[in-house]
């Protein structure tokens, strides 16, 4: 894998890692959101 592609991949992983807890808290506070 080329270095620029690797950096882009790591940025995406970092972004998902940051957003995942927010989604968990959001869905955790609104359980009905899972069904719609």
- The ranges assigned to domains in the chain are 3-35
Q: What is the pLDDT of residue 15?
A: 93
CA distance 19 to 28: 14
Q: What is the pLDDT of residue 7?
A: 95
Instruction: List the one residue out of 32, 3, 30, 2 whose CA is nearest residue 22.
Output: 30
Q: What is the pLDDT of residue 34?
A: 59
Q: What is the pLDDT of residue 28?
A: 79
CA distance 8 to 15: 11
pTM of the model: 0.50
pLDDT tens, residue by residue, 2-33: 899 999 999 999 999 989 888 888 877 776 65
CA distance 36 to 34: 6
Judge whether residue 1 has pLDDT over 80: no
């Amino acid at each position: 894998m080329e270095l620029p592609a690797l950096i882009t991949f790591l940025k995406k992983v970092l972004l998902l890692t940051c957003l995942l807890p927010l989604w968990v808290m959001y869905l955790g506070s609104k359980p009905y959101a899972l069904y719609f």
